[in-house]
């Protein structure tokens, strides 16, 4: 029985681990699918004397692993799929090294060329984004509290980022009167509007879900 | 009578799950048992494909799920208990109306008894 339990876990892990999804979601999927597969294996064991045959019958009832993996991937929310395709799926020591090197280079460059503080700001934003993604991958009280509302928070931070770009752009325009210097302000305004839209939309969606 | 399998069920599975949960909350295996009982053994569903449908419903806010607190003497992993949300109830009501209209229109054209 323990060998078949292990076999069951391996089959489910092969279906779930490659998915582009947060580790919390994958863990929950694995646990739930394992519970189901184990339950139907125990049902089939009552009909077959061989555990191997019972497991084959259970897997036949459960469905094709590749097809199920595709269906599970399609059930992951779109934004989460995109984010974990970029940050979660292939993240390893090498990609962490390059992200860290890029952030450090941007901070150093920002310190050298102080009048272009956007490099420092960009580096801090990138660091914040990577940290946020890492937090969502963990399974602790804070990540469980944040995870259902991560889209609202992301929208809020995008709006905050945009608001930080508006006034410096306007001040620069006031000094130079060059219309091109308004571009950062325009981009900042667009970010504020998009961020607020995302935050409010998801806040209303969560509120409706809890109602 | 031929069995109703995956291809024919596509597009209807979520509504069937919502209808099943309307009676009472249940975990995945229990939902399947209710579907089989309701289909008089003619519904042939690959059991694993129930879960992507449940996750889609959960993401849409139409069902809510909590981990069971007690294993009830079972070995192995925990199960999640699903229940219908108010949004799911509204969608189910609308889906019933849509399906009745579908049956009425298509059945009329086919000449099948409605």
Q: Per residue of chain B (114 residues), what is the pLDDT tens digit?
A: 666 666 666 678 999 999 999 999 999 999 999 998 888 776 778 899 999 999 999 999 999 999 887 766 666 678 999 999 999 999 999 999 998 888 889 888 888 765
Of A96, A103, A139, give the one whose Cα is nearest residue A121: A103
Which among A34, A36, A65 is the top mutation candidate for probing chain B, defined by the most B β-carbons within 10 Å of its own β-carbon?
Answer: A36
Which residues of B fall within a CB distance of 8 Å from A74? 52
Cα-Cα end-to-end distance for chain B? 18
Query: What's the burial of B60, exposed, middle or buried (CB within 10 Å: 0-12/13-18/19+)?
Result: middle
C-beta of residue A57 within 8 angstroms of C-beta of residue A44: yes
Residue A54 to residue A44: CA distance in whole angstroms:
5
Nearest-CA distance B21 → chain A (Å): 17
pLDDT more than 70, % of chain A: 74
Residue B5 to residue B39: CA distance in whole angstroms:
11
Express each pLDDT in A131-158 by its tens digit: 776 666 666 666 667 777 778 888 888 8
Q: What is the pTM of this model?
A: 0.65
pLDDT for residue A51? 84
A39–B78 CB contact, under 8 Å: no
Q: What is the mean pLDDT of residues A67-95?
A: 76
């Amino acid at each position: 029985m323990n060998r078949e339990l292990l076999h069951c876990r391996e089959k489910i892990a092969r279906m779930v681990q490659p998915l582009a999804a947060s580790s919390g979601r994958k863990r929950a999927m694995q646990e739930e699918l394992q519970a189901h597969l184990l339950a139907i294996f125990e049902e089939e064991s009552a009909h077959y004397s061989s555990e191997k045959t019972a497991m084959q019958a259970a897997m036949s009832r459960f469905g094709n692993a590749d097809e199920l993996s595709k269906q599970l991937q399609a059930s992951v929310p779109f934004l989460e799929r995109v984010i974990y395709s970029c940050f979660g799926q292939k993240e390893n020591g090498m990609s962490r090294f390059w992200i860290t090197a890029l952030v450090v280079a941007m901070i150093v460059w920002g310190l050298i060329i102080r009048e272009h503080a956007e490099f420092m700001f960009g580096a801090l934003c990138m660091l914040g984004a990577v940290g946020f993604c890492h937090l969502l991958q963990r399974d602790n009280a804070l990540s469980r509290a944040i995870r259902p509302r991560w889209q609202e928070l992301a929208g809020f931070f995008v709006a905050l980022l945009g608001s930080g770009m508006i006034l410096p752009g306007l001040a620069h325009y006031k000094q130079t009167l060059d219309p091109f210097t308004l571009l950062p302000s325009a981009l900042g305004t667009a970010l504020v509007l998009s961020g607020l839209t995302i935050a409010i939309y998801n806040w209303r969606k969560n509120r409706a879900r809890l109602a | 009578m031929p069995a109703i399998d995956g291809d024919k069920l596509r597009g209807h599975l979520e509504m069937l799950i919502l209808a099943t949960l309307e009676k009472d909350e249940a975990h995945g295996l229990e939902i399947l048992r209710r579907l089989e009982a309701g289909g008089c053994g003619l519904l042939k569903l690959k059991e694993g494909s129930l879960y992507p449908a449940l996750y889609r419903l959960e993401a849409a806010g139409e069902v809510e799920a909590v981990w069971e607190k007690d294993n009830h003497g079972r070995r192995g992993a925990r199960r999640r208990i699903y229940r219908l949300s108010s949004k799911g109830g509204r969608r189910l009501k609308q889906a019933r109306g849509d399906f009745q209209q579908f049956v009425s229109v298509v059945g009329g054209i086919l000449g099948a008894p409605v």
